[in-house]
Structure 1
Amino acid sequence: MRVGFVQYCPAFLQMETNRQVLAALLEGIEADLLVLPELCLTGYFFTSSEEAHAAAESIPDGPTTAWLTTLSQRTGAILVAGLPERDGAQYYNSAVVVGPRGYIGHYRKVHLFYEEKLHFQAGNLGFPVFTVTDRSGETYKLGVMICFDWYFPEAARTLALQGADVIAHPANLVRPDCPRAMPIRALENHVFTITANRYGSESNGRETLSFIGQSLICDPMGRILAQAPKVGDAVEVVEIHPAEARNRRITQHNDLFADRRPEHYQLS
């Protein structure tokens, strides 16, 4: 199965321009699963909640889900991409999962970072795992988390305990430590991880954030299979076998999950 990330620098609130750029980046790409960045069409550093809410849309009947479905049909890939979601009077930093047949599901970011707390509500859908198929018809389990969720080991662990073979991780990373941590998240949970970050800078008029690029794919042994540079567009696709994530036996006497002792993980 071929999986990959898309790294680029979105133009702030220029959704149509960003659609054209992403479509061009994916021209001729063959993959079963592609992960795009967090808030991939809008940009990130909103000047106000009003600006963030004006950019938000409903899922699954909004224009971004429809556009991603068309893009999925062109590439044949399952797509995971971030967008601001509106649900009635509530707003979320979300990621949608679509395939050639349309909407599969979505996730609302649980751990909000920095000024996201001013614009969005914390996610209320838990950490979902979706059963999907690749282009050959093989079934695998796909988990989703967003950006700052990586900082909380419980996020990836919750997905892995639900059987995720692959964790899709749309991101707009500004801290330098995530590329060091994701191999550990992959190793400790024995899963594949795909982090799709952006690069460039954005200002909200008060300060400027710079994004670190370095999107990466890790295997269940914590090895980096592909990594993008700090700056520059990149689409990296590698071959993986999701079944490799399902055997968590690391010695003849040890299984990473069977050896867990939850009864001792209590705060005294």
Structure 2
Amino acid sequence: MEMNTWEILSGEQIHTRILNKEWRNLPYNIIFELYLDPIGLGHDDYITLFLNWQIEHIAYNSLSYYLVLDKNLLRPETDIDILIDSEQPAAIKIHDLDQSYIFYLIKMLLKSSELSVSKLSRQFVRNVAEQLLLSVMINRITKEPETKLNPVNRYSLLAFDFVDRVKACFQKHKSVHYYAKKLGVTEKTLSKATQATLKITPKELIQKTLTEKAMTLLEHTDKSVKEISYELGIKETNNFSTFFKKMTNITPLEYRNLKRQLPTLLKKGSQDSQ
């Protein structure tokens, strides 16, 4: 059987693959993280492009989808500087996205994944990947006309090391000071690194990680809000509920009900449009 040159995977599938160590013989060297704001407000949507990055080193998000592909899938005439100039690892993140467009792409990629070895499917994914690469280039050139896309630098390495530590320790440690001390840098340096690389402050990243874990537990378990609060290291349930509403504009129970009603609503919307 011919080896696939691309796949579309959820964060949980990435997690499973990493645990099972199934990546070694796969040719993927371009990875797009497609993240949609789960509340549907759209202000947190982003795409992250990872080039020449080992998948097990990515701080994967269980709420994201990942398009992983072989660089050779692209057309030879694809003239994109970042693909040509460097074989070093690089990670580039862009915001200000059209949520409906990304949602459409995810749906189409999921459909195409059923035919991932077909010629037509390859052509579709090639076009999507090239559009996404061009979008990344245009976004960066528009916002930073004087800045070239450089490989991962000290700030990038520091920022992604911070992300890994937060994901491992956020239940116990929620202060920026703790992580800065463990990384051997000042809070100011850590803040510069995360804002330069991830466009987010260290405190915001800790809060975002906490919120996303809470969302996952609310959606995929039947644990009570009190149990989830305790698991996340927040002793007072009221404090957790207040924090969650501040981050999402709805309460934990409202979020759980919304996510469990969503498949029915999407199905109904699809039927109504036919």
TM normalised by structure 2 equals: 0.23
Structure showing greater radius of gyration is: 2
Greater helix content = 2
Greater strand content = 1
Structure number with higher relative contact order (C-alpha < 8 Å, ≥ 6 residues apart): 1
TM normalised by structure 1 equals: 0.23
